[in-house]
Amino acid sequence: MGRVGERSEPGWGEPDKTPSLTGTSPARQLNRPAELAAAGLVPPERLAALDAVAARYAVAVTPAMADLIDAADPDDPIARQFIPDPAELDRLPEERDDPIGDNPHQPVAGIVHRYPDRVLLKLVHVCAVYCRFCFRREMVGPGAKMLSDAELAEALAYVRARPEIWEVVITGGDPLVLSPRRIAAVVASLAAIEHVKVIRWHTRLPVVDPARITPALVGALKAQGKAVYVVLHANHAREMTAAARAACARLVDAGIPMLGQSVLLRGVNDDPAALSDLMRALVEARVKPYYLHQGDLAPGTSHLRTTIAEGQALMRAIRGRLSGLCQPTYVLDIPGGHGKVPVGPGYLCEAADEEGYEVTDYQGGRHRYPPAG
């Protein structure tokens, strides 16, 4: 695989004067197992096995995440997210290259149109870090292309021609690895489309490289007359460092609301204490928990997936014990492109005598509720 900084495609007009098209400095990342070993994050005797993983799936760990990893802990929750594991080469029959079914809903390059009133706009396929559970792991990584000028123009024309599109969700890859100039250009183009009212950016950057959330980047995200949201991906409370909270504050203080999305991961946040700590850490940073995703059927990720039943039990465990501000919606992206649905536990059922309902409270107590209520 090539390095991010080795790409030479200009794209979107004149190139930025940065080490790479995205503005990401590849020298700051740990991209190879040998670099992870040199940093003391993996033992040298594991290099051959990890090289085999790195030949198949992209590897990148930022200094901010490397500093959080406790190499002495074989079950470190940060390492489980970013350090390659030989188990990634074990692919189950039910796992898919396109686990949530983006491809059938891609009318033009860069656009996924699954729901009537919103589209995904995938600007880039590179990230500051590569999560070991990524559902797009077959299409992201160093050397992956960004949208060309022509492709971006076609994607924007698609949005412009469909007045039912109310929201554009910008994703990738991680779109905030783009330079402020490029971000501002996309925002200006979307802001000029009258029927687009909401622009939503999905990113890990405030956590994994918080220094990149500069005043210039924050300013580039703002759009006159449009609601702009940033959705932060974080999976463990330790990711919400002082620097990460400061990065979130730069966004929120500028008037950009933040939501949080997390993936339920075995050995990372799959117990009530860890999940509670994460949700509280997000709310303390003024990031409203939005989604808790069931792990997708991405290739080589079974060692990180929980069962849905385990996820439902966790959601029951935090219900009533955490503020409503801390409650995400537990969701499953149905394989095959059929959309996202809540799969949390139920609390209401028809009474056995069919006279009204039976409601279960957060402590497991059951209560009757009248049919006309």
Residue 114 annotated among the catalytic residues of the structure: yes
Query: Is residue 174 in a domain?
Result: yes
Residue with tokens 């033009």: 108
In a domain, 87, yes or no: no
**Are residues 141 and 286 part of one domain?**
yes
Q: Which of 116, 127, 181, 191 is nearest to 156 (CA)?
A: 191
CATH of the domain at 129: 3.20.20.70
> Active-site residue among 16, 85, 209, 296?
296
Cα(201)–Cα(174) distance, integer angstroms? 9
Classify residue 77: in a domain, yes or no.
no
- 349 is annotated as an active-site residue: no
Structure tokens at 99: 């686990």
Instruction: State the alpha helices, DSSP H only, in 68-134.
Output: 77-82
Residue 173 and residue 243 in one domain = yes
Q: Annotated catalytic, 67?
A: no
Query: Which entry of 16, 131, 229, 248 is annotated as an active-site residue?
Result: 131
**Predicted confidence pLDDT, tens digits, the chain (373 residues):** 333 333 333 455 444 543 344 444 444 899 999 999 999 999 999 999 999 999 999 999 999 999 999 999 999 999 999 999 999 999 999 999 999 989 999 999 999 999 999 999 999 999 999 999 999 998 888 877 789 999 999 999 999 999 999 999 999 999 999 999 999 999 999 999 999 999 999 999 999 999 999 999 999 999 999 999 999 999 999 999 999 999 999 999 999 999 999 999 999 999 999 999 999 999 999 999 999 999 999 999 999 999 999 999 999 999 989 999 999 999 999 999 999 999 999 999 988 887 899 999 988 899 999 987 6
Distances from the Cα of 127 to the Cα of 198, 233, 257, angstroms = 23, 12, 22
119 domain residue, yes or no: yes
Residue 45 lies in a domain: no
- Is residue 355 in a domain? yes
* Domain range enclosing 354: 345-373
E strands, 148-226, in order = 167-171, 198-203
Q: How many beta carbons lie within 10 A of that of residue 353, not counting itself?
A: 8
pLDDT, position 139: 85
pLDDT of 23 reads 46
Which of 63, 54, 69, 61 lies closest to 1, judged by CA? 54
Q: Catalytic: 271?
A: no
Structure tokens at 40: 């003391």
Check whether residue 351 and residue 331 sit in a common domain: no
Given the residues 7, 80, 96, 114, the one annotated as active site: 114
Taking the CA atoms of residue 143, residue 97, residue 76 and residue 67 in that order, the dihedral angle to the nearest 10 degrees is: 20
Please check whether residue 100 lies inside any domain of the structure.
Answer: yes
Single out the catalytic residue among 115, 290, 347, 357: 115
Residue of 98, 134, 204, 209 with catalytic role: 134
Instruction: Fill in the DSSP letter of residue 226.
Output: S
**Which of 16, 80, 127, 158 is the catalytic position?**
127
- Catalytic status, residue 296: yes
Contact 123, 173 (CB under 8 A): yes
In angstroms, rounded to a whole number, what is the distance separating the alpha carbons of residues 366 and 294? Answer: 27
Residues 225, 359: one domain? no
Among candidate residues 3, 56, 118, 145, the one labeled active-site is 118
Does 321 lie in the same domain as 354?
Answer: no
Give catalytic status of residue 115 as yes or no: yes
Q: Is residue 326 flagged as an active site residue?
A: no
Separation of alpha carbons 147 and 172, rounded Å: 10
Question: Residue 11 has what pLDDT?
Answer: 56
CA dihedral 64, 69, 71, 72 (to 10 degrees): 140
Shared domain check, 204 and 264: yes
Rg (CA), the chain: 21
CA angle 110, 111, 113 (to 5 degrees): 160
Tally of CB atoms within 10 A around 20: 20
Task: Judge if 336 and 351 occupy the same domain.
Answer: no
Distance in angstroms (rounded) separating the CA atoms of residues 99 and 337 = 8
| Residue 211 included in any domain | yes
Judge if 107 and 214 occupy the same domain. yes
- Among 76, 174, 270, 333, which one carries the catalytic annotation? 333
Q: How far apart are CA 115 and CA 119, in angstroms?
A: 7
248 catalytic, yes or no?
no
| Shared domain check, 257 and 273 | yes
pLDDT of residue 16: 53
Looking at the structure, tell me whether residues 300 and 179 fall in a common domain: yes
| Closest of 169, 177, 234 to residue 202, by C-alpha | 169
What total number of domains does the chain contain? Answer: 2
Which residue among the candidates 80, 136, 182, 316 is catalytic per the annotation?
Answer: 136
Chain centre to alpha carbon of residue 315: 20
Q: By the 8 A CB rule, do 312 and 330 touch?
A: yes
Nearest partner of 344 among 331, 354, 356, judged by Cα: 331
Instruction: Judge if 353 and 207 occupy the same domain.
Output: no
Whether residue 358 sits in one domain with residue 266:
no
